[in-house]
Amino acid sequence: MRFGFHISIAGGFSKVVERAYARGCETIQFFSRNPRGWKYSPLNKKEVEEFRSSIQSSNLFPIFLHMPYLPNIAFLNSKYYKRSIHSLVIDLQRAEDLGAQYLIIHIGHRMESSEDQAIEAVSQGIDQAFEKVKNAVILLMENTAGQGTEIGYTFDQIKKIIEGVHDRQRMGVCLDTAHSFEAGYDLSNKDGIERTLENFDQSIGLKRLHLLHLNDSKTPLGSRKDRHWHIGEGHIGLEGFKHLVNHPLLRHLPGIMETPRKDTIEDLKNMKVIRSLIESQ
């Protein structure tokens, strides 16, 4: 398993590779713009070329771009629905421009709509974005903890969204371990992990799983509260992560950590812990 972190683009894309190396990354995830706002500036062509060159000369792969937090394509009647689709269009194109093979999207909140209506809204939104951007970037839906009116916290919901998309070859899943646990999938022990993977395979198909977000959970199993924590220090624990990173169906996947941080020191600690769990094949 190749490990990495979400890397900040503060100060420009030129700092990404350096920050990744400082954390011992083999794979990375990043935003292309401010994740908490709608406004953005066009990418600087020279900066993009330099970034792509630095990535190509590094040993970092695969590369994951993450959508900003504000877009919500799960509520059709929102005044932000079309704006959210436009945001997806922008990042699908930016992913290709920046050399990222994958784009990660938060599935969204249904708000006042029903679960079925929300699922249909997500599928429609993705269809509209795919119509406008026809490239090879794979869109990864990230499962949710089920907090508030979030959808996508069950594998069956994600399955229905994918089934509603016309160009399903461009669809994949990013499985967040904290979100899964908080949604009720027990990843703290071997038996729970086997049941979860069997459920995932029967519902969605493991062939659609392209990335693990390796995060421990600060809240208990089934809490429906999204709280990431340091590897081995939460309710999933070291035993759970040891089974996850060594599982024959998962160990070929990249694993990105989104654990809490104030500085590089927390990332180095989490990287050391996760690597210590790897068993020789």
Catalytic residues: 36, 66, 69, 106, 142, 176, 179, 213, 226, 228, 258
Residue found under tokens 């959808």: 151
CB atoms within 10 A of CB 263: 7
Tell me phi and psi for residue 211, to 5 degrees.
-155, 145
Q: Which two tokens stand for residue 182?
A: 């908080």
Q: Which residues pair with 171 in a beta bridge?
A: 139
Q: Where are the beta strands (DSSP E) in the chain?
A: 2-6, 27-30, 63-66, 102-106, 138-142, 171-176, 209-213, 216-217, 228-229, 254-257
DSSP-derived secondary structure for 191-209: HHHHHHHHHHHHHT-GGGE
Residue found under tokens 């919500």: 72
Write the DSSP symbol of residue 229.
E
| Pair 182, 224: CB distance under 8 Å | yes
Residue found under tokens 């035993």: 239
Q: Which two tokens stand for residue 171?
A: 């669809």
